[in-house]
Structure 1
Amino acid sequence: MRAVNGWRVLVVVLGCVLIVLCACGSESACGPSAGVVSRVVDGDTVVLQSGERVRYLLVDTPESTGGKHECFGAESRDFNRSLVEGRVVRLRYGEACTDRYGRLLAYVSVDGHEVNALLAEQGYACVLYIAPAGESRRSEFQSLESSARRAGRGMWGECSAVPCEK
Protein backbone atom coordinates (compact mmCIF):
# COMPACT_ATOMS: atom_id res chain seq x y z
CA MET A 1 0.00 0.00 0.00
CA ARG A 2 2.88 2.32 0.81
CA ALA A 3 4.41 1.94 -2.68
CA VAL A 4 1.09 2.83 -4.35
CA ASN A 5 0.77 6.02 -2.28
CA GLY A 6 4.39 6.92 -3.07
CA TRP A 7 3.72 6.58 -6.82
CA ARG A 8 0.58 8.71 -6.53
CA VAL A 9 2.51 11.45 -4.77
CA LEU A 10 5.25 11.29 -7.38
CA VAL A 11 2.73 11.50 -10.26
CA VAL A 12 0.97 14.47 -8.64
CA VAL A 13 4.28 16.29 -8.03
CA LEU A 14 5.50 15.65 -11.58
CA GLY A 15 2.15 16.80 -12.96
CA CYS A 16 2.38 20.06 -10.98
CA VAL A 17 5.95 20.64 -12.18
CA LEU A 18 4.87 20.07 -15.79
CA ILE A 19 1.98 22.54 -15.45
CA VAL A 20 4.29 25.21 -14.01
CA LEU A 21 6.88 24.67 -16.75
CA CYS A 22 4.27 24.90 -19.51
CA ALA A 23 2.76 28.06 -18.03
CA CYS A 24 6.18 29.71 -17.81
CA GLY A 25 6.86 29.07 -21.49
CA SER A 26 3.65 30.75 -22.73
CA GLU A 27 4.82 34.31 -22.17
CA SER A 28 7.94 36.23 -23.10
CA ALA A 29 9.21 39.43 -21.56
CA CYS A 30 7.11 41.30 -24.15
CA GLY A 31 3.88 39.33 -24.24
CA PRO A 32 2.30 36.05 -25.28
CA SER A 33 4.25 33.62 -27.46
CA ALA A 34 1.05 32.50 -29.19
CA GLY A 35 -2.56 33.50 -29.60
CA VAL A 36 -5.64 33.27 -31.79
CA VAL A 37 -6.20 36.16 -34.19
CA SER A 38 -9.71 37.49 -33.60
CA ARG A 39 -9.49 40.42 -36.03
CA VAL A 40 -7.27 41.58 -38.86
CA VAL A 41 -7.04 45.37 -38.68
CA ASP A 42 -5.07 45.80 -41.91
CA GLY A 43 -2.13 44.27 -43.73
CA ASP A 44 0.29 44.62 -40.83
CA THR A 45 -1.80 44.70 -37.64
CA VAL A 46 -3.98 42.11 -35.90
CA VAL A 47 -5.87 41.79 -32.63
CA LEU A 48 -5.63 38.59 -30.61
CA GLN A 49 -8.57 37.02 -28.75
CA SER A 50 -6.77 37.96 -25.53
CA GLY A 51 -7.03 41.65 -26.54
CA GLU A 52 -3.42 42.37 -27.51
CA ARG A 53 -2.95 44.48 -30.62
CA VAL A 54 0.05 43.18 -32.59
CA ARG A 55 1.96 45.20 -35.21
CA TYR A 56 4.14 43.14 -37.54
CA LEU A 57 7.84 43.94 -37.24
CA LEU A 58 9.77 45.34 -40.21
CA VAL A 59 6.86 45.66 -42.64
CA ASP A 60 4.52 48.46 -43.65
CA THR A 61 1.53 47.73 -45.85
CA PRO A 62 -0.55 50.31 -47.70
CA GLU A 63 -3.40 51.73 -45.64
CA SER A 64 -6.90 50.27 -45.87
CA THR A 65 -8.56 51.74 -42.76
CA GLY A 66 -9.73 55.05 -41.34
CA GLY A 67 -10.96 56.44 -44.64
CA LYS A 68 -7.48 56.09 -46.13
CA HIS A 69 -7.49 53.54 -48.94
CA GLU A 70 -4.12 53.40 -50.68
CA CYS A 71 -3.22 51.35 -53.72
CA PHE A 72 -2.92 47.67 -52.71
CA GLY A 73 -4.16 48.34 -49.16
CA ALA A 74 -7.23 46.12 -49.49
CA GLU A 75 -5.18 43.38 -51.15
CA SER A 76 -2.60 43.48 -48.34
CA ARG A 77 -5.31 43.32 -45.68
CA ASP A 78 -7.08 40.45 -47.46
CA PHE A 79 -3.83 38.49 -47.90
CA ASN A 80 -3.06 38.90 -44.20
CA ARG A 81 -6.63 37.88 -43.31
CA SER A 82 -6.40 34.75 -45.46
CA LEU A 83 -3.30 33.67 -43.55
CA VAL A 84 -4.12 34.43 -39.91
CA GLU A 85 -7.73 35.30 -39.09
CA GLY A 86 -9.22 32.80 -36.64
CA ARG A 87 -5.96 30.88 -36.51
CA VAL A 88 -3.38 30.23 -33.81
CA VAL A 89 -0.26 32.29 -34.51
CA ARG A 90 3.19 32.22 -32.91
CA LEU A 91 4.78 35.49 -31.86
CA ARG A 92 8.51 36.21 -31.68
CA TYR A 93 9.70 39.55 -30.46
CA GLY A 94 12.61 41.66 -31.62
CA GLU A 95 14.72 44.30 -29.96
CA ALA A 96 11.70 46.38 -28.80
CA CYS A 97 8.43 45.14 -27.33
CA THR A 98 6.04 47.90 -28.35
CA ASP A 99 5.73 50.85 -30.68
CA ARG A 100 4.77 54.40 -29.73
CA TYR A 101 1.07 53.45 -29.96
CA GLY A 102 1.44 50.64 -27.42
CA ARG A 103 1.05 47.83 -29.97
CA LEU A 104 3.16 44.71 -29.48
CA LEU A 105 5.86 44.43 -32.16
CA ALA A 106 6.34 40.85 -33.32
CA TYR A 107 7.25 38.43 -36.05
CA VAL A 108 4.02 36.48 -36.60
CA SER A 109 4.04 32.88 -37.84
CA VAL A 110 1.28 30.49 -38.80
CA ASP A 111 1.79 26.85 -39.79
CA GLY A 112 5.56 27.36 -39.82
CA HIS A 113 5.41 30.34 -42.22
CA GLU A 114 6.38 33.81 -41.08
CA VAL A 115 3.74 36.29 -42.24
CA ASN A 116 6.05 39.33 -42.01
CA ALA A 117 8.48 37.79 -44.51
CA LEU A 118 5.68 36.61 -46.81
CA LEU A 119 4.24 40.14 -46.96
CA ALA A 120 7.59 41.57 -48.06
CA GLU A 121 8.45 38.68 -50.38
CA GLN A 122 5.09 38.73 -52.19
CA GLY A 123 4.99 42.52 -52.65
CA TYR A 124 2.29 43.30 -50.10
CA ALA A 125 4.61 45.39 -47.89
CA CYS A 126 7.57 47.73 -47.82
CA VAL A 127 10.27 47.44 -45.21
CA LEU A 128 9.70 49.71 -42.22
CA TYR A 129 12.61 49.96 -39.82
CA ILE A 130 12.34 52.13 -36.73
CA ALA A 131 15.37 51.61 -34.51
CA PRO A 132 15.98 49.45 -32.62
CA ALA A 133 13.04 47.17 -33.53
CA GLY A 134 14.10 44.64 -36.15
CA GLU A 135 17.77 45.59 -36.39
CA SER A 136 18.92 41.95 -36.45
CA ARG A 137 16.80 41.10 -39.53
CA ARG A 138 16.69 44.43 -41.36
CA SER A 139 18.96 43.41 -44.27
CA GLU A 140 17.03 40.15 -44.75
CA PHE A 141 13.79 42.08 -45.19
CA GLN A 142 15.39 44.66 -47.46
CA SER A 143 16.53 41.80 -49.68
CA LEU A 144 12.99 40.35 -49.76
CA GLU A 145 11.57 43.75 -50.75
CA SER A 146 14.22 44.26 -53.46
CA SER A 147 13.41 40.87 -54.96
CA ALA A 148 9.66 41.66 -55.03
CA ARG A 149 10.37 45.03 -56.67
CA ARG A 150 12.57 43.53 -59.39
CA ALA A 151 9.98 40.84 -60.12
CA GLY A 152 7.07 43.32 -60.10
CA ARG A 153 5.22 41.26 -57.50
CA GLY A 154 2.19 42.66 -55.70
CA MET A 155 2.05 46.40 -55.36
CA TRP A 156 5.36 46.77 -57.21
CA GLY A 157 3.62 45.67 -60.40
CA GLU A 158 0.15 47.08 -59.72
CA CYS A 159 0.57 50.57 -58.28
CA SER A 160 1.78 53.55 -60.30
CA ALA A 161 3.04 55.05 -57.04
CA VAL A 162 3.77 52.66 -54.18
CA PRO A 163 2.23 54.25 -51.06
CA CYS A 164 4.86 53.16 -48.53
CA GLU A 165 7.83 53.96 -50.76
CA LYS A 166 9.94 56.79 -49.44
Structure 2
Amino acid sequence: MDKKLSIIIVAIIAIGVLGFQYINQSGPFSEINSSSEEETYTVKRVIDGDTIIVSKPGHEDERVRLIGVDTPETVKPNTPVQPYGKAASDFTKRHLTNQQVRLEYDREKTDRYGRTLAYVWLGDDMFNAMLAKEGLARAKFYAPNDKYRIVIEQAQKEAQKKQLNIWER
Protein backbone atom coordinates (compact mmCIF):
# COMPACT_ATOMS: atom_id res chain seq x y z
CA MET A 1 0.00 0.00 0.00
CA ASP A 2 1.29 3.43 -0.90
CA LYS A 3 2.40 5.71 2.00
CA LYS A 4 -0.07 8.53 1.14
CA LEU A 5 -2.98 6.09 1.11
CA SER A 6 -1.90 4.68 4.49
CA ILE A 7 -1.83 8.19 5.97
CA ILE A 8 -5.28 8.96 4.56
CA ILE A 9 -6.72 5.73 6.00
CA VAL A 10 -5.21 6.44 9.44
CA ALA A 11 -6.62 10.00 9.32
CA ILE A 12 -10.10 8.74 8.40
CA ILE A 13 -10.04 6.21 11.24
CA ALA A 14 -8.86 8.88 13.71
CA ILE A 15 -11.64 11.27 12.63
CA GLY A 16 -14.20 8.47 13.00
CA VAL A 17 -12.99 7.61 16.51
CA LEU A 18 -13.04 11.26 17.58
CA GLY A 19 -16.53 11.71 16.13
CA PHE A 20 -17.79 8.61 17.93
CA GLN A 21 -16.34 9.88 21.22
CA TYR A 22 -17.99 13.28 20.68
CA ILE A 23 -21.39 11.74 20.01
CA ASN A 24 -21.14 9.47 23.06
CA GLN A 25 -19.97 12.35 25.23
CA SER A 26 -22.84 14.68 24.31
CA GLY A 27 -25.65 12.96 22.46
CA PRO A 28 -28.35 15.00 20.74
CA PHE A 29 -30.67 15.41 23.69
CA SER A 30 -28.66 13.99 26.55
CA GLU A 31 -27.72 15.63 29.82
CA ILE A 32 -24.56 17.66 29.55
CA ASN A 33 -21.97 18.19 32.23
CA SER A 34 -22.61 21.29 34.29
CA SER A 35 -19.98 23.96 34.10
CA SER A 36 -19.43 27.49 35.29
CA GLU A 37 -20.46 28.61 31.78
CA GLU A 38 -24.02 27.46 32.39
CA GLU A 39 -26.72 29.35 34.31
CA THR A 40 -30.36 28.69 35.22
CA TYR A 41 -33.05 31.26 34.40
CA THR A 42 -36.82 31.60 34.19
CA VAL A 43 -38.21 32.39 30.74
CA LYS A 44 -40.23 35.55 31.29
CA ARG A 45 -41.34 36.17 27.72
CA VAL A 46 -40.93 34.88 24.17
CA ILE A 47 -40.13 37.49 21.52
CA ASP A 48 -40.31 35.05 18.60
CA GLY A 49 -39.31 31.48 17.82
CA ASP A 50 -35.59 31.99 18.40
CA THR A 51 -35.44 34.92 20.86
CA ILE A 52 -36.56 34.94 24.49
CA ILE A 53 -36.38 37.15 27.58
CA VAL A 54 -35.12 35.46 30.73
CA SER A 55 -34.90 36.60 34.33
CA LYS A 56 -32.80 35.49 37.26
CA PRO A 57 -33.39 36.76 40.80
CA GLY A 58 -31.13 39.72 41.49
CA HIS A 59 -30.30 40.27 37.82
CA GLU A 60 -31.74 42.39 35.01
CA ASP A 61 -33.88 40.68 32.39
CA GLU A 62 -31.78 39.36 29.55
CA ARG A 63 -32.61 39.00 25.83
CA VAL A 64 -31.35 35.62 24.60
CA ARG A 65 -30.90 34.60 20.97
CA LEU A 66 -30.79 30.83 20.47
CA ILE A 67 -27.53 29.70 18.85
CA GLY A 68 -27.60 27.60 15.70
CA VAL A 69 -31.21 28.10 14.63
CA ASP A 70 -33.14 30.64 12.61
CA THR A 71 -36.93 30.63 12.77
CA PRO A 72 -39.17 32.42 10.26
CA GLU A 73 -39.67 36.09 11.14
CA THR A 74 -42.70 37.41 13.02
CA VAL A 75 -41.52 40.67 14.61
CA LYS A 76 -38.69 41.96 12.40
CA PRO A 77 -39.34 45.61 11.41
CA ASN A 78 -40.31 46.12 7.75
CA THR A 79 -40.60 42.36 7.24
CA PRO A 80 -43.92 40.57 6.78
CA VAL A 81 -44.69 37.60 9.00
CA GLN A 82 -43.10 34.64 7.24
CA PRO A 83 -44.74 31.23 6.76
CA TYR A 84 -44.46 29.11 9.93
CA GLY A 85 -43.20 32.13 11.89
CA LYS A 86 -46.28 32.13 14.11
CA ALA A 87 -46.06 28.35 14.52
CA ALA A 88 -42.40 28.63 15.61
CA SER A 89 -43.21 31.47 18.00
CA ASP A 90 -46.20 29.58 19.44
CA PHE A 91 -44.09 26.41 19.86
CA THR A 92 -41.47 28.37 21.79
CA LYS A 93 -44.14 30.10 23.91
CA ARG A 94 -45.84 26.79 24.68
CA HIS A 95 -42.63 25.07 25.75
CA LEU A 96 -40.61 27.84 27.40
CA THR A 97 -42.85 30.54 28.91
CA ASN A 98 -42.44 30.55 32.72
CA GLN A 99 -40.13 27.52 32.53
CA GLN A 100 -36.78 27.08 34.23
CA VAL A 101 -34.05 26.72 31.60
CA ARG A 102 -30.30 26.38 31.61
CA LEU A 103 -28.30 28.62 29.32
CA GLU A 104 -25.13 27.19 27.88
CA TYR A 105 -22.80 29.57 26.11
CA ASP A 106 -20.42 28.92 23.24
CA ARG A 107 -17.23 30.84 22.39
CA GLU A 108 -18.96 34.24 22.09
CA LYS A 109 -21.48 35.12 24.79
CA THR A 110 -23.09 38.10 22.98
CA ASP A 111 -23.79 39.17 19.41
CA ARG A 112 -23.29 42.58 17.80
CA TYR A 113 -26.80 43.61 18.94
CA GLY A 114 -25.97 42.95 22.60
CA ARG A 115 -28.14 39.84 22.85
CA THR A 116 -26.91 36.90 24.90
CA LEU A 117 -26.20 33.90 22.67
CA ALA A 118 -27.00 30.51 24.18
CA TYR A 119 -28.08 26.94 23.82
CA VAL A 120 -31.26 26.68 25.88
CA TRP A 121 -31.71 23.48 27.86
CA LEU A 122 -35.21 22.54 29.01
CA GLY A 123 -34.53 19.68 31.39
CA ASP A 124 -32.36 17.23 29.44
CA ASP A 125 -33.46 18.55 26.02
CA MET A 126 -31.71 21.23 24.00
CA PHE A 127 -34.53 23.49 22.85
CA ASN A 128 -32.50 24.78 19.88
CA ALA A 129 -32.42 21.23 18.46
CA MET A 130 -36.10 20.68 19.33
CA LEU A 131 -37.05 23.62 17.08
CA ALA A 132 -35.02 22.19 14.20
CA LYS A 133 -36.41 18.68 14.75
CA GLU A 134 -39.97 20.04 14.54
CA GLY A 135 -39.18 21.74 11.23
CA LEU A 136 -39.73 25.17 12.77
CA ALA A 137 -36.15 26.42 12.37
CA ARG A 138 -33.29 26.17 9.94
CA ALA A 139 -29.83 25.31 11.21
CA LYS A 140 -27.78 28.51 10.94
CA PHE A 141 -24.39 29.06 12.50
CA TYR A 142 -22.09 32.02 12.83
CA ALA A 143 -18.45 31.29 13.58
CA PRO A 144 -17.07 30.67 16.09
CA ASN A 145 -20.27 29.47 17.81
CA ASP A 146 -20.77 25.95 16.52
CA LYS A 147 -20.40 23.58 19.48
CA TYR A 148 -23.62 21.68 18.67
CA ARG A 149 -23.61 22.15 14.89
CA ILE A 150 -23.75 18.40 14.19
CA VAL A 151 -26.64 17.88 16.63
CA ILE A 152 -28.77 20.72 15.24
CA GLU A 153 -28.03 19.88 11.60
CA GLN A 154 -29.01 16.26 12.28
CA ALA A 155 -32.28 17.43 13.85
CA GLN A 156 -32.95 19.53 10.73
CA LYS A 157 -32.26 16.54 8.48
CA GLU A 158 -34.87 14.52 10.42
CA ALA A 159 -37.45 17.28 9.86
CA GLN A 160 -36.55 17.53 6.18
CA LYS A 161 -36.91 13.78 5.74
CA LYS A 162 -40.36 13.90 7.38
CA GLN A 163 -41.23 17.11 5.47
CA LEU A 164 -42.30 18.85 8.68
CA ASN A 165 -43.52 22.46 8.70
CA ILE A 166 -41.01 24.68 6.82
CA TRP A 167 -39.82 21.59 4.91
CA GLU A 168 -43.34 20.69 3.77
CA ARG A 169 -43.59 20.28 0.00
TM category (shorter chain) comes to 0.7 to 0.9
**Is 1:52 paired with 2:62?**
yes
Partners of 1:26 and 1:34 within 8 A in 2? no
Number of equivalenced pairs: 130
1:63 to 70, 73, 79: 73
AA aligned opposite 1:149:
Q
CA deviation profile, 1:14-33 (whole Å, cap 9, x unmatched): xxxxxxxxxxx9963xxx70
Runs of 4+ that moved beyond 2 A: 25-28
- 1:68, distance to aligned residue in structure 2 (A): 2.7
Deviation at 1:132, TM superposition (A): 0.4
- How far did 1:140 drift? 2.2
C-alpha RMSD of the superposition: 1.9
Distance 1:27 1:52 in 2: 18
Q: Deviations over 1:78-126 (max 9, x none)?
A: 0001111011111111121111111111110113221101001110100
TM-score, reference length from structure 2: 0.71
Aligned to 1:40: 46
Q: Is the 8 A contact 1:34 1:89 kept in 2?
A: yes
Of structures 1 and 2, the larger Rg is shown by: 1
The aligned residue for residue 147 of structure 1 is 158
Q: Give secondary structure in 1 for the equivalent of 2:105.
A: strand
Please state whether the residue corresponding to 2:108 is helix, strand or coil: strand
Aligned ranges for residues 1-166 of structure 1 at < 5 Å?
28=37, 33-49=39-55, 50-65=60-75, 66=77, 68-134=80-146, 136-157=147-168
List runs of 5+ in structure 2 lacking aligned partners.
1-33
TM-score, length-scaled by structure 1: 0.72
- Could you tell me which runs of 5 or more consecutive residues in structure 1 were left unpaired when the two chains were aligned: 1-24, 161-166
Secondary structure of 2:106 counterpart: strand
